[in-house]
Structure 1
């Protein structure tokens, strides 16, 4: 028969192990997210100025009987088209040479996806057994993005620094190049923690943006992006 004192000690040990497991699972995911974070930013963030300025039509268009474009003969371009194309190329070169940092709004609170991504993980990585972390309650964690060096031209700022609401954030005039808003869900892993999947999104306007499903894997003790799939377009 277990004495009251022994029972209390046993209960404390069980609770301590459970707590350590919860911290371990969250810390593992947070560490992976921190490691892969620069690659995520470079992979899905875009310079909105290039999106808002697609190349002009250049040449003679040919359509099928249903009115669908089937070809463009650039050798049949007219002078007006040549001038527009030259102007477009000049603008693109100006954007590419611009060394200004592109500011991106980011919410550092990482939450689990509203959609169960485990089936996508199993399918993409050929049936790897899914890992179910033993985490009770809120699994949200904070990414210290300000201390994660980014190699590209993007600079992140906390979304709390921007106006609230999807309309206000795009209406405000900024004294910097505001490129958009980026977001990520938490990561779901396989049992051996060698593969993972998460969702991400980048919006560059009220009706401009893309959603992504991002597959990651561990290679030579480093986490890398394996593949990115589009999930929605606005």
Structure 2
């Protein structure tokens, strides 16, 4: 065997080893990335359903001032500002393009809730991801990032900018069981200091497809 042939074989061996090691390194990175991508994909699949199950329509709550007048037939409620009443009644009839502020990114389940999560349910990773609202525009809702406008007292600034504003929603990461056949996440809805709801959303893989089996109200403010 000539020196040149030995040199060529050695170079091929070094190149093969280099590719093998690189492949192992890439393989080591893939699970984390694919796990986060999988969680994001699942979140996008169930987003509309869990939003629809957890928001409260504030257009049915009037902020117009009223007065009670005593009549022969008993007390009646009248609006102090007729114009305010007209706007409120118009909003009640218009149920499209309601504005919801969405927390920019998912969060880990909060301490107050984590105690109720079975210990075998864990987040697939500690990485958080930003919610891509461009994938979630529907006729019923107009989603806005919460960071667009820092909420002030009772969300008055949001209501001033968006007359059809109905509140804020935030979501936790999805926590899976060991077999990745079931999952749990939390949802928080807020529309004021004394207006809020909390939920557990239960997910399950049925016939190779993830579905929302239940959205349970866990607290009310």
TM-score (norm 2): 0.70
Q: Distance in 2 between matches of 1:25 and 1:157?
A: 27
Partner SS for 2:144? strand
CA RMSD of aligned residues (A): 3.6
Alignment check: 8 A CA contact 2:96 2:141 kept: no
The superposition leaves residues 169-209 of structure 1 with CA deviations (integer Å, 9 ceiling, x where unpaired) of 43452243111100000000122222110011110112211
Q: CA deviation at 1:49?
A: 3.0
Q: Distance in 2 between matches of 1:95 and 1:219?
A: 40
Q: Distance in 1 between matches of 2:95 and 2:123?
A: 44
Alpha-carbon distance change, 132 to 102 in structure 1, aligned in 2, over 3 angstroms: closer
Q: Distance in 2 between matches of 1:199 and 1:228?
A: 9
User: Which of 147, 153, 170 is matched with 2:135 structurally?
Assistant: 147
User: 2:25 maps to which residue?
Assistant: 15
Q: Distance in 2 between matches of 1:227 and 1:52?
A: 30
Partner SS for 1:141? coil
- 1:35 is the counterpart of 2:45: yes
User: 1:109 maps to which residue?
Assistant: 105
Q: Distance in 2 between matches of 1:190 and 1:100?
A: 37
User: Which of 42, 48, 55 is matched with 1:45 structurally?
Assistant: 55
- 1:22-171 pair list within 5 angstroms: 22-51=32-61, 79-80=73-74, 96-115=92-111, 120=116, 122=118, 130=121, 133=124, 135=125, 138-150=126-138, 153-162=140-149, 164-167=150-153, 169-171=155-157
Structure with greater contact order relative to length (CA < 8 Å, sep ≥ 6): 1
Partner SS for 2:185? strand
Q: CA deviation at 1:108?
A: 3.0
Segment drifting more, 186-195 vs 217-226: 217-226
Q: Distance in 2 between matches of 1:168 and 1:94?
A: 22
User: 1:176 maps to which residue?
Assistant: 163
User: 2:195 maps to which residue?
Assistant: 208
Segment drifting more, 212-221 vs 26-35: 212-221
Q: CA deviation at 1:110?
A: 1.5
Q: Distance in 1 between matches of 2:62 and 2:89?
A: 15
TM-score (norm 1): 0.66
Q: CA deviation at 1:6?
A: 8.7
Count of equivalent residues: 193
Q: CA deviation at 1:120?
A: 4.7
Larger radius of gyration: 2
For structure 1, the residue ranges without an aligned partner over 5 or more in a row are 54-77, 85-90, 124-128
Q: Distance in 2 between matches of 1:117 and 1:233?
A: 14
The superposition leaves residues 24-50 of structure 1 with CA deviations (integer Å, 9 ceiling, x where unpaired) of 211111111010001011000111133
